[in-house]
Amino acid sequence: MGGAPQGPAGTGKTETTKDLGKGIGVPVYVFNCGKQMTGVSAGNLIKGLAQAGAWGCFDEFNTIRIEVLSIVAKQFLMCYDAIRSFMITNDAEFSFDEDRIRVVTTMGFFITMNPGYKGRAELPESIKVQFRPCAMIKADFILIAENMLLSEGFREAKVLSSRFVTLYMLSEELLSFQIHYDWRLRAMKSLLRMAGKLLRLASSGTTEYHVMKSALKNFNLPRVISNDKPIFEMLCEDLFPKLQVQSESDKNFMECTRRILKDPEMIKK
C-alpha cells in the first residue's frame, strides 16, 4: 500500500515523504497534479517509477479529474499486485498497459491532499483502499528550526530559531505578494542548511548571531523586490540589532555583469 498524507498547506506532507525516502535510500520524485493530467500522462509517470524502483509523490492528487482518477487507481493496483505476486511466485515481470515491465519491489506511490479546498475532488473508494491515510497538522516551525540549527552545530539554537521564524512570519505578513516569494518550511530548511555551511566557514571571532544574520541577508535579499527591501532590512535590524554584516558576492562576476549590461556585444566576444 502507498501513503496518503493529508492536511492544510504548509504542514510538511511532501517534505515528510521526501525525508522518509532519503532516510532509507530511495529516490523520491515529486509531481504536481492538476486538471491537465490524463490517464496516459499519469500512466507514463507510474510506469517510469515502477521500472526505476523509485517513489513517486503526487502533490495535490485530488485536483485530478474524477474520470482520470479511476484510470490511475487501476494503474496503481497493477503495480501493487505485481509486488505481491513477486513475493509469492517470484514472477519477475508484469503487464502494464499492454507492456511487459520488470518488477522492482522498492517502487512506491504517495499522494498528498488538501481536503476541503475549492476544486478538490472526492477520491473514489478504489483509490482510498490502496493508500494508508495520515493526518498532518500545522508544523511547529520554531522547534524544527531549533533542531536543524543544533544539527548544524549552533549552540544558540533556541534563541536563533525563535528570531529566524519570527522574521519569516513577519515577512510573509508585511511584504508584498510575489509569486517567487516563499516563507514556508521548504525555504526555511534551505536557509538553515546554508547557515550551517557559513558557520563552518566562519572565522574564529564571528558569533552565531552574525552568521545567521548574514545567511538571512545573502539568501533573501537577491530575491526581494526593491520596494520590499527596506521593510525586510528593517525587520533584520530589529531582530538582530547592532550587528554589522557584509553581503557575500563574487566581485569578478558582478564586474563582468556590469560590463555586459553596458555593452551587450561583449557576450559574442
Domains of the chain: 2-135 (3.40.50.300), 141-251 (1.10.8.710)
Average pLDDT score, the chain: 87
**Other residues' Cβ atoms within 10 Å of the Cβ of residue 53:** 15
pLDDT bin (cut points 50, 70, 90) of residue 247 is low
Which range of 80-94, 160-174, 254-268 scores highest in mean pLDDT? It is: 160-174
pLDDT digits (tens, 9 = 90+) for 2-21: 899 988 877 888 888 999 99
Instruction: Note the pLDDT of residue 209.
Output: 92
pLDDT band at 261 (very low <50, low <70, confident <90, very high): confident
142-160: average pLDDT? 93
How large is the average pLDDT for residues 158-170? 93
The per-residue pLDDT for range 61-118, each reduced to its tens digit, is: 888 888 888 888 889 988 988 888 888 888 788 888 788 888 888 999 999 987 666 6
- For range 183-192, the mean pLDDT: 87
Cα dist. 156→41, 151, 195, 210 in Å? 49, 12, 13, 12
How much is the average pLDDT of 39-57? 92
Percent of the chain surpassing pLDDT 90: 39
Give residue 15's pLDDT: 86
Residue 174 has pLDDT above 90, yes or no: yes
Strand partners, 2: 131
- Record the cell numbers describing residue 148, joined without a space: 536543524
Q: Which residues 6+ apart lie within 8 Å of 159 measured at CB?
A: none
CA geometry: angle 194, 199, 204, nearest 5 deg: 160
pLDDT exceeds 70 at position 28: yes
User: Residue 248 — pLDDT band, cuts 50, 70, 90?
Assistant: low
Segment 211-229 shows an average pLDDT of 91
Pick the residue with more confidence: 260 or 249?
A: 260
* CA nearest to 154, candidates 204, 205, 203, 192: 192
- pLDDT (tens digit per residue) in 106-144: 999 999 987 666 656 677 788 888 899 998 888 788 999
Handedness of CA 193, 138, 76, 64 (dihedral sign): negative
* The dihedral formed by the CA atoms of 35, 36, 38 and 43, expressed in degrees to the nearest 10: -100
How is residue 171 written as a grid cell? Answer: 515577512
For residue 250, what pLDDT is reported? 63
